[in-house]
Chains A and B, each alone.
Chain A
Amino acid sequence: MIEKTYLSAGRSAPLRIRVNGRETELDVPPSKRLLHVLRDDLGLTGTKRSCEIGRCGACMVLVDGEPVNSCLAMAYQCQSKSVTTIEGLSEDGMTLVQQCFLDEGGYQCGYCTPGMIVSVTALLANDPSPADTDIQEALSGNLCRCTGYGGILRAVKKAIELKREQTG
């Protein structure tokens, strides 16, 4: 009975995930964190390492479209799921959100920026015109030490405005 559910005993097990639209199969320990899978095994270093306990948001990615701290998610938790990193957002050119961060100066050192943009992307995908309190809640898990969030808020508001114009 136990054998049936036995996934792995300290060995690598095949992890099948879709990363930025590409089916990927990797031999990694099932408990390896998605952050390290992305950075070390797949070379996707746009996802940043900072606190590694889910408290800063620098490693934010989308898992099946929802924001997840990749330092918290373990490989087995992502089995058969679709992961989008900052690199995957801009494969077809810069997104509106990215362009707004650029235009408004919503970044300084840039280290929190990929995670921040991933969170903003998820927010606006779920709600194209969030209230200020919704923006605050959505970004409360993304720490920025440089900007004081002023430029970030301006970028988010600009993105909301442009999205509204686009959709008429």
Chain B
Amino acid sequence: MAYPHGELLRSPSVWQPVSAEEAWRLKREIGTGASFVAGGTLLRTQWEAGLAPYPAHMIDLTGVAELSGCGPVDEEDGGWRIGAITTLAQCRSHAGLFAAYPLIMEAARTIAAPAVRNLATIGGNALSRTGDMATALLALDSELLWQNDAGTVLEPLSDWLDRERAGLSGAPGLLIAILLPAACRMPITPNARRRCAFHKVGRREAFIPPVVNVALNVELDGDGAVADIRISAGGGTMIPARLAAAEALVRGRLPDAALLEELHAVVMGEYAPMPDPLVGEDYRRMTAANLAAAALWQASGAGGRGPGEGEKPCC
């Protein structure tokens, strides 16, 4: 029965660890009755819809020092570290993050609404797998820093998502931070031609989970050919993925009309949506292909504005 669970008589215990090691140990000791809670916004919808059991124990992550903070790892490296409990509101408004990795801000802007973003965290959204953040982070070659029995472990986000897709489910620990490589950072020099775009389509114009999202991170060489590219896509209940075949197709080539047509066809074949009672798979595939190809078309300088934007062209 889908009754909201509400606060039943026995209210959950709340644990407030101060270190990642302690938080992880609590989870191990209490077991399945315990749930990590950061913002708790997605969990709330799952509890109310009966999709996740209301936990007997909540492990509050907001006091765990290592999980906060957002900034360059060090001056030498140039990459960034975003603590897992960094709120989406912080991602939306962080000027330095925007300058370095505008995709993060673009994705954050489309997630939920401002008040929800004041509670919801980047870690929570990324680990939900079906939000927008994982798609954006994939296009940035992000790595996840986990706390587990072995201590801290670093792994590419794409590896973790691959394992999830393969059904080897479950986070391998507590997510401490997301690491963004220097290679994907926006260049300081304005003449380098790196372009980023994040496009999202939902069943409504705002405050809506993605039906399809596409993130593009591309660098063009002096001739306008694709020097380097990352395209990722997600939406619905599918686990976001890099579109490796699409990337391979365009790498080193000039994004002319013929190539874009080919790219469209490749994305149609490569993008793999999950069944959904409200939105058809063919529609999702076509949307992903249209958005990916149009985004590259625009990144190559052909168009003026993003394909998801709805400003009036006329009138």
Contact across chains for A73 and B119 when beta carbons are under 8 A apart: yes
Interface residues of B in 30-63 (CB under 8 A from A): 39-41, 44-45, 48-49, 58, 60, 62
Q: Which stretch (A18-26, A134-142, A156-164) binds chain B?
A: A134-142
A33 to B118, CA, bound (A): 16
Contact across chains for B45 and A54 when beta carbons are under 8 A apart: yes
Number of interface residues of A (CB under 8 A): 41
Contact across chains for A137 and B114 when beta carbons are under 8 A apart: yes
The chain B residue sitting closest to A12, CB to CB, is B11
Contacts of A6 in B (CB 8 A): 13, 15
Contact across chains for A31 and B114 when beta carbons are under 8 A apart: no
Interface residues of B in 197-223 (CB under 8 A from A): 206-207
Q: Shortest distance in angstroms between B90's beta carbon and chain A's nearest beta carbon?
A: 11
Contact residue among B48, B89, B207 (Cβ-Cβ distance under 8 Å from A140): B207
Contact across chains for A67 and B115 when beta carbons are under 8 A apart: yes
Q: Given A29-B7, A76-B14, does the pair A68, B119 have CB atoms closer than 8 Å?
A: yes
Contact across chains for B16 and A7 when beta carbons are under 8 A apart: yes
Q: Given A10-B12, A30-B14, does the pair A67, B26 have CB atoms closer than 8 Å?
A: no
Tell whether B116 is near chain A: CB-to-CB under 8 Å: yes
Contacts of A71 in B (CB 8 A): 44
A116 to B25, CA, bound (A): 42
Q: Given A7-B15, A138-B114, does the pair A54, B7 have CB atoms closer than 8 Å?
A: no
Contact across chains for A68 and B44 when beta carbons are under 8 A apart: no
Contacts of B113 in A (CB 8 A): 57, 137, 140-142
Interface residues of A in 55-109 (CB under 8 A from B): 55, 57, 60, 63, 66-69, 71-74, 76-77
Contact across chains for A8 and B14 when beta carbons are under 8 A apart: yes
Tell whether B173 is near chain A: CB-to-CB under 8 Å: no
A30 to B37, CA, bound (A): 13
Contact across chains for A72 and B112 when beta carbons are under 8 A apart: no
Q: Shortest distance in angstroms between B212's beta carbon and chain A's nearest beta carbon?
A: 19
Tell whether B275 is near chain A: CB-to-CB under 8 Å: no
Contact across chains for B207 and A55 when beta carbons are under 8 A apart: yes
Q: Given A53-B48, A54-B41, A72-B40, does the pair A30, B11 have CB atoms closer than 8 Å?
A: yes
The chain A residue sitting closest to B11, CB to CB, is A29
Number of interface residues of B (CB under 8 A): 36
Contacts of B16 in A (CB 8 A): 5, 7, 76
Contacts of A10 in B (CB 8 A): 10-13
Contact residue among A13, A55, A72, A137 (Cβ-Cβ distance under 8 Å from B119): A72
Tell whether B76 is near chain A: CB-to-CB under 8 Å: no
Contacts of A53 in B (CB 8 A): 44-45, 48-49
The chain A residue sitting closest to B92, CB to CB, is A137
Contacts of A32 in B (CB 8 A): 7, 11
Contacts of A2 in B (CB 8 A): 15, 26, 29
Contact across chains for A31 and B115 when beta carbons are under 8 A apart: no
The chain B residue sitting closest to A36, CB to CB, is B7
A140 to B114, CA, bound (A): 8
Contact across chains for B115 and A141 when beta carbons are under 8 A apart: yes
Tell whether A9 is near chain B: CB-to-CB under 8 Å: yes
Contact residue among B4, B11, B39, B109 (Cβ-Cβ distance under 8 Å from A137): B109
A5 to B60, CA, bound (A): 10
Q: Shortest distance in angstroms between A44's beta carbon and chain B's nearest beta carbon?
A: 18
Contacts of B13 in A (CB 8 A): 6-10
The chain A residue sitting closest to B117, CB to CB, is A141
Contacts of A131 in B (CB 8 A): none
Q: Given A31-B58, A141-B113, A141-B114, does the pair A74, B40 have CB atoms closer than 8 Å?
A: yes
Tell whether A121 is near chain B: CB-to-CB under 8 Å: no
Contact across chains for B40 and A136 when beta carbons are under 8 A apart: no
Contact across chains for B115 and A57 when beta carbons are under 8 A apart: yes
Tell whether A119 is near chain B: CB-to-CB under 8 Å: yes
The chain A residue sitting closest to B113, CB to CB, is A141
Q: Given A31-B7, A53-B45, A141-B207, does the pair A68, B118 have CB atoms closer than 8 Å?
A: yes
8 inter-chain pairs at a CB distance below 8 angstroms, sorted by A residue, are A10-B12, A32-B7, A33-B7, A53-B49, A60-B115, A74-B40, A140-B206, A141-B114
Q: Which residues of B contact A (CB under 8 A)?
A: 4, 7, 10-18, 22, 25-26, 29, 39-41, 44-45, 48-49, 58, 60, 62, 89, 109, 112-116, 118-119, 206-207
Which 3 A-B pairs have CB atoms at the shortest separation, nearest pair first? A141-B113, A29-B11, A140-B206
Other than the given A52-B48, A73-B119, 9 more pairs (CB < 8 A) read A5-B26, A10-B11, A29-B12, A31-B7, A53-B48, A54-B45, A137-B206, A141-B113, A141-B207
